[in-house]
Amino acid sequence: MSTVKHVPKTPVDPKAPGPMLKYQANLPKLPVPALSGTLQKYLQSVRPLLDDAEYQKTEQAAKEFESPGGLGQKLQERLVARAQDPSIVNWMEDWWLDQAYMGYRDPVVIYVSYFFLFKDDKLRKSPAQRAAAITTAALEFKQQVVNKTLSIEMAKGEPMCMDSYKYMFNNCRMPKKPSDYEAIFDPVNNNHVVVIRKNKFYVVDTIYQGKQLSTAELEHQFKRIIDQAGNSKGLPIGILTSDNRDKWTEYRENLVSANPENAKLLEKVESSDFVICLDDQTPVTRDEGSRACWHGDGRNRFFDKPLQFIVFENGKAGFMGEHSCMDGTATCRLNEYVCDGLSKDKINHGSIEIRSDIPQPTELDFKVNEKIQKDVEVATTNFENLIKKHELTVLAYQAYGKNLIKKFKCSPDGYAQMVIQLAYYKMFGTSRPTYESAQTRKFQRGRTETARTVTTESVAFVKTMEDPYATNEAKISALRTALKAQGAYMADAVNGHGVDRHFFGLKNCIQPGEEKPELFTQPINAYSSHWYLSTSQLSSENFDGYGWGQVVNDGFGCAYMIKNNALQFNVASVKDLEVHGKKYINGTYHFKHCLEEAANDLRDVMTTEIPAEAKL
């Protein structure tokens, strides 16, 4: 019986520069939702956070905002006009890039960047060997991006925006006041990787005499670097990239003015395919490996690069991504391609013969003066102080995963969200605003929208779960109702119909001299987007860790993976966080404990509903 192949509704562009972009020009534009729909959704999202009197005030402010001839209508008209402007591809893009990323002045490390920790590679235990294999696999992926042959990601039968892949290789975030910018270098003419070892920078050309270096040749080059770097540490120029963006802008100016040669050396790093960090650390546990990928010692890195592969002395490895131009779905795909390709032996490693005349890798010898040494000292102190304030721990929950959750007839993502909600309620006795990342890549240059997880239904669910007198039936019913609400909001968010980005757009349409409407100045407006829980899911059987920092200092960053037979939660926060005047000593670990309890409780309740044989 022949199966009918689904044909996307999006028409193919015959002028597309390659198969990867064949739908790109015809993808729908990011919509501006109807004002009334967003206001309704906003009121629903704040209802569980407010008492009756406060809620009535918020309802009143929404009515005024929407009234005919009111400011809300004016702002909506301006936003719609911007969205319809043929010269603007995506009404949110420039505002978002500047306000969420480039204009943000805190360090990228901890606050912006994210990491993946890979599972161990049983075949490749030495750092040079593992780094070489990762490089070959990543370069294979680069070829598909450059040739525009990378297969298009699809969601529910429709193509996703593939535009952000242009920011992956041969790119770098550049520090500048008041707002950074992205430098994009020609990926065809730049064929080199930069390797950092003992804080020293080395260039490895990946093509010699017209032929790409094989994995064996790359391994040979990386071994040469390890030998050349020896045991003495260099002045860590890389740590300058870990500081506040204004400070790094100044440091970079000092570096360039110290010697004109330094600008060329920096450009070698900035224009490289990616960076390989050959660390001399040997992390063993998931917590150690995750922290080493999240920030390491800050010195053996160049934090502005969108791609840094990190390989440790004991052969463990991971990845760190700079977040400003690319979201995690694209880099997750790259890393999945690398890890999966290597573990299943799908990567072409080339000849095992090593050409004897390949030149030695060159060290980038930065010319420094006292001022730069002082900058390095200051940046090092600032980095150490930043790291000292933060805690990270991983719950690798091995009791069950996606397979059992599907037997419960639940959405795995919604289920994991409710585990997080229940854990938070166990620890704090209340529910607080929660961000879940929803991707809007079905639209041209779409990035993310917020799915607001806390609903009247989720609050009822956590209360029912913690009620010792509630029956299992009542608990299951409360979960299913909460999952339905979570799924509905997520579906709207993916379609560009959330609250947060629409409000962001409306706020950006307020002109100088115009008074901010009460809807935006009420305390609940800021509170309902103060993300006590910042959550996001990316899942891979090849990863042993994935995470980032919290977005507010009285909250948690909670990255999670849903594997077939395991759940994994990465909990990050400030050490001993303080929430609403109360200090939680070891709070990061307490939340991890509550996540485990919540996952156990939920399983115990849900298994009462399925027949014994289905549990196996």
Residue-wise pLDDT tens digits, 395-418 = 999 999 999 999 999 999 999 999
Q: Which of 192, 295, 323, 390 is catalytic?
A: 323
Please, which pLDDT band fits residue 456 given cuts at 50, 70 and 90?
Answer: very high
As a whole number of angstroms, the distance between CA 457 and CA 435 comes to: 16
What percentage of the chain exceeds 90 in pLDDT?
97
Beta strands 192-197 and 275-278 are: parallel
Taking CA 112 as the corner, what is the angle to CA 363 and CA 243, rounded to the nearest 5 degrees?
55
Closest CA to 210 of 358, 322, 86: 358
Q: What is the pLDDT of residue 614?
A: 53
Say if residues 444 and 163 touch (Cβ distance below 8 Å): yes
- Which DSSP symbol is given to 100? I
pLDDT digits (tens, 9 = 90+) for 111-170: 999 999 999 999 999 999 999 999 999 999 999 999 999 999 999 899 999 999 999 999
pLDDT in tens, 488-503: 999 999 999 999 999 9
Angle, helix 260-270 to helix 245-258, in steps of 10 degrees:
130
Residue 1: what pLDDT?
47
For residues 423, 424, 428, 434, the Cα torsion angle rounded to the nearest 10 degrees is -170
Nearest to 444 by CA among 33, 89, 81, 71: 89
Q: What is the mean pLDDT of residues 207-234?
A: 98
DSSP 567-599: EEEEEEEETT-EETTEE-TTHHHHHHHHHHHHH
Residues in the chain: 616
Say what the pLDDT of residue 28 is. 96
Which residue, among 383, 175, 342, 185, has the nearest Cα to 274 in the 3D structure?
185
Q: Rounded CA gap, 393 and 547, in Å?
A: 10
d(CA 201, CA 267): 12
Whether omega for the bond prior to residue 187 falls within 30 degrees of 0, making it cis, is no
Closest CA to 537 of 585, 498, 569, 579: 569
Give how far Cα 461 sits from Cα of 332, 417, 456, 479, 610, Å: 32, 12, 9, 6, 20
List the structure tokens of 197. Answer: 């070892």
How do residues 568-583 score in pLDDT, each as one tens digit?
Answer: 999 999 999 999 999 9
- Position 78 confidence tier, pLDDT thresholds 50, 70, 90: very high
Using an 8 Å Cβ cutoff, are 545 and 394 in contact? yes
Query: Can you tell me the distance from the alpha carbon of 20 to that of 428, in angstroms, rounded to the nearest whole number?
Result: 47
Per-residue pLDDT at 549 = 96
- The confidence score (pLDDT) of residue 610 equals 82
Give the containing element (helix H, strand E) for 547. strand 543-548
Cβ count within 10 A of residue 515 = 8
**Residue type, position 440, single letter:** T
pTM above threshold 0.85: yes
How high is the pLDDT of residue 6?
A: 73
Phi, psi of 115 (to 5 degrees): -140, 160
Q: How confident is the model at residue 540 (pLDDT cuts 50, 70, 90)?
A: very high
- From the centroid of its chain, how far is CA 573? 16
Q: Residue 7 has what pLDDT?
A: 84
As a whole number, mean pLDDT of residues 524-547 equals 97
Q: DSSP readout, 347-370?
A: S----S---TTPPPPEE------H
- Residue 5, pLDDT > 90, answer no
Measure CA 400 to chain center: 25
Decide if 418 contacts 458 (C-beta within 8 A): yes
> Does 613 have pLDDT greater than 80?
no
What's the pLDDT tens digit per position in 235-268?
Answer: 999 999 999 999 999 999 999 999 999 999 999 9
- Give me the pLDDT at residue 3, please: 52
Please state at what angle helix 35-46 crosses helix 52-66, rounded to 10 degrees: 170
Residues contacting 48, CB < 8 A, separation 6+:
431, 454, 455, 456, 458, 459
312 close to 283: Cβ distance less than 8 angstroms: yes
Neighbours of 427 (CB within 10 A): 19
pLDDT tens per residue, range 359-406: 999 999 999 999 999 999 999 999 999 999 999 999 999 999 999 999
pLDDT tens for residues 84-113? 999 999 999 999 999 999 999 999 999 999
User: Does residue 349 carry a catalytic annotation?
Assistant: no
pLDDT of residue 612: 58
Sole residue written with tokens 């509905």: 488
Q: Tell me, what's the pLDDT at 4?
A: 52
Round to whole Å and give the CA distance between 233 and 300.
10
pLDDT at 181: 96
